Amino acid sequence: MSKIRKSSHFVNINLNVRGLVQSATLLINERSNELIKKGITVYKLGLGQSPFPVPDIIQEALRRNAHQKDYLPVKGLLPLREAISEFNFRRQGIKCSAEDIMIGPGSKELIFILQLVYYGELIIPTPSWVSYSPQARIAGRHVTWVPTTEENDWRLSPEKLDIICRSDPDRPRVVILNYPSNPTGSTYPKARLKKLAEVARKYNIILISDEIYGLIDHSGEHISIAKYYPEGTIISSGLSKWAGAGGWRLGTFTFPENLRWLQNAMAIVASETYTSTSAPIQYAAITAFQDHPEIDNYLHHVRRVLKTLGNYMANRLKAKNISMPSPKGGFYLFLNFQFYRNKLATKGILTSFEMCETLLKETGIAVLPGSDFGRQPEELTCRLAYVDFDGKMVLNKAMTEYDSTPLDDVFLIKYCGKMIDALTKMENWLDNL
């Protein structure tokens, strides 16, 4: 008698998806929460989520728009697209019209559908944000990783990009440039942006300039490469990082007019998949992109806190022979434990993954291994997100008690205690290796 076949036989997964695992940043968050449930103290430095609340004025706008219930246009609500085009001019001096803007449920989704509809290879520096490469794989695109060096703060060099493009100059290509960078916290100075723009122009590259952390450049002086390569740059941004609204799911793309064909193709896919971005969120986002002193004040204090905490953490870790680029924007440090290689090896730790697992087990500190960002597994790097503090309280203290006093170590010790504890734990762990 023939045996009944198990139903698992029929689980056939698209080969582009087979073998992929859930996004690393989301997994580390789930893992941290499980440990917390078991009563273990976990320092959640894995997930890159803003600790700050959504500015009150934007929350109020959402409350006022709770009744908005209609499906909205695929490319986005016109008044919102208008507000974003004005915002681009006000903040960056970039001229564009409402038609050049596309709204999506997070910039992640927009980057994905661009990879799906554009036929070409993806070029990204290593290290890069965790999702670019898996998205390319799902879309069936080839990924070329461009090596970078720590001496150069892990940034894409125009010369290396040129070498890659030279061998096949007409190949269609998308380059994603993300700055301030996740995972490194570094950014590109004007001169470097100009050189990268020259190479991009030479090879007709489509550049996605992922500026999701632009407004939280610690100096407040973020510059878009769209200024130097306007005809080929798509600016990717949204509310997730600067407005602390990751869960609201609103992302924005600003296209040059001559890439309207690409925007239209993306809109077709959007119309057949997510339809349009949540209506109340889009109405509320109009306020976020308008000129309001409350928002400028919020950003001023968010940047102060991030700058002070980032530098403090970097200095203490550098004193322990951990190297990293100095933090310039966003809320990440990309740590290199090379100095401890031999000591780690005696504990059987040979990869960044093993290092992060052991660190979590022995100290409760959750960080992500460099290998999640495209680095070689045996390189002992990891990304630390300095976000485990009560952003609402800290922002309030910075705005009131410390409004006219520089933020200092005392402020951090008093109000970002958990970050300081994590640092001390890490230092002790290193001392005892």
Ligand X SMILES: Cc1ncc(COP(=O)(O)O)c(C=O)c1O
* Interface ranges with ligand X (CB under 6 A): 48, 106-108, 129, 178, 182, 210, 212, 238, 240, 246, 251
Closest CA to 365 of 429, 279, 310: 429
Nearer to ligand X (CB atom), residue 106 or residue 256 = 106
Shortest separation between residue 342's beta carbon and ligand X, angstroms: 33
Shortest separation between residue 93's beta carbon and ligand X, angstroms: 23
Question: What are the helix and strand counts (H, E) for the chain?
Answer: 15, 12
Nearer to ligand X (CB atom), residue 129 or residue 411 = 129
Nearer to ligand X (CB atom), residue 48 or residue 53 = 48
Contact 45, 384 (CB under 8 A): yes
Shortest separation between residue 132's beta carbon and ligand X, angstroms: 8
Nearer to ligand X (CB atom), residue 87 or residue 203 = 87
- Other CB atoms within 10 A of residue 23 CB: 15
Nearer to ligand X (CB atom), residue 45 or residue 344 = 45
Shortest separation between residue 215's beta carbon and ligand X, angstroms: 13
Shortest separation between residue 7's beta carbon and ligand X, angstroms: 35
Q: Extract the tokens encoding 23.
A: 């996004």
Task: Please report which helix (H) or strand (E) contains residue 254, including its range.
Answer: strand 251-254
What DSSP line would sit under 204-220, residue for residue? T-EEEEE-TTGGGBTTS
Task: Give the DSSP letter of residue 390.
Answer: -
Contact 260, 225 (CB under 8 A): no
Shortest separation between residue 110's beta carbon and ligand X, angstroms: 8
Nearer to ligand X (CB atom), residue 141 or residue 383 = 383
| Strand ranges, E, within 62-115 | 101-104
Task: Return the amino acid letter for 320.
Answer: K
- Minimal CB distance to ligand X: which residue? 106
Contact 90, 291 (CB under 8 A): yes
